[in-house]
Amino acid sequence: MGFLSGKAALVTGSTSGIGLGIARALASEGASIVLNGFGDAAAIAALRREIEETHGVAVRHVAADMRKPDEITAMVRSAEAEFGAIDVLVNNAGIQHVAPIDEFPPEKWNDIIAINLSSAFHTIRAALPKMKAKGWGSIVNTAWAHAFVASPYKVAYVAAKHGIAGITKTVALEVAQQHITVNAIAPGYVDTEMVRAVPAEVLRKIVAKVPIGRLGHASDIARGVAFLTADDADFITGSTLSINGGQHMY
């Protein structure tokens, strides 16, 4: 029996990439899973079946759009109706757009702030009351180095990730005495669709700067998230775990 047996986990943006890796890792510890994100309906149904059969847990999919607060709240309520409460909430959904600020399309700014930042406010706001009632919860938000440093041409992404660091610490303080931990992870460059969009030459330079000398895998990130959700990690709150092959050191 895994340490999340009998618990339910909602992972936003989990139909691919890091989120899918996290969903698999939490399922392997026994959690029922609510997948969220876009994609081909048949492919998502196959994913659900595969995770259910591999780990013997219930897996649902809700295609709520993280830009829409009403859909986010409805997703949380449907998960609570089925599983009683969301015990583990992982705010992972995220998109990227790269452009100088004076050419940055306002609609891209709005989408990135909504998906990468505001959706975490809405999921936490909706899921916390049931966590408090149960007296147990684990929230993990996906930040990254851009929660602490900047890089040019990523104004919305950097602003959103700085915001995620702020939400993480604020909520951690608010619920510190209610057996609910709130942490963030800061992945380095991970081999997902988001990073496959980076030109090969740029990617080679990025990898050259990673002390361990490779891109991360979704499973590397998922390992850290699973660790933060364990009962005996309950003295860790308001923290950010760097999972980046050592890149945070310089």
Q: Does 74 bind ligand NAD (CB under 6 A)?
A: no
Paired tokens of 189: 């460059």
Quote the CA–CA distance of 70 and 145 in Å, as a whole number. Answer: 30
Handedness of CA 219, 39, 86, 177 (dihedral sign): positive
Quote the CA–CA distance of 57 and 49 in Å, as a whole number. Answer: 10
Contact 175, 128 (CB under 8 A): yes
| CB 52 to ligand NAD: min, Å | 18
Q: Does 224 bind ligand NAD (CB under 6 A)?
A: no
| CB 250 to ligand NAD: min, Å | 17
DSSP 161: H
From candidates 2, 8, 33, 37, binder to ligand NAD by CB under 6 A: 37
Q: Does 67 bind ligand NAD (CB under 6 A)?
A: yes
Binding to ligand NAD, residues 101-130 (CB under 6 A): 115-116
| CB 104 to ligand NAD: min, Å | 17
Buried b (16+ CB within 10 A) or exposed e, 34-70: bbbbeeeeeebeebbeebbeebebbbbbbebbbbebe
From candidates 4, 9, 18, 23, binder to ligand NAD by CB under 6 A: 18
| CB 181 to ligand NAD: min, Å | 19
- Residue numbers of the site for ligand NAD (CB under 6 A)? 13-19, 36-39, 65-67, 92-95, 115-116, 142, 144, 187, 189-190, 192-195
Residues noted as catalytic: 157
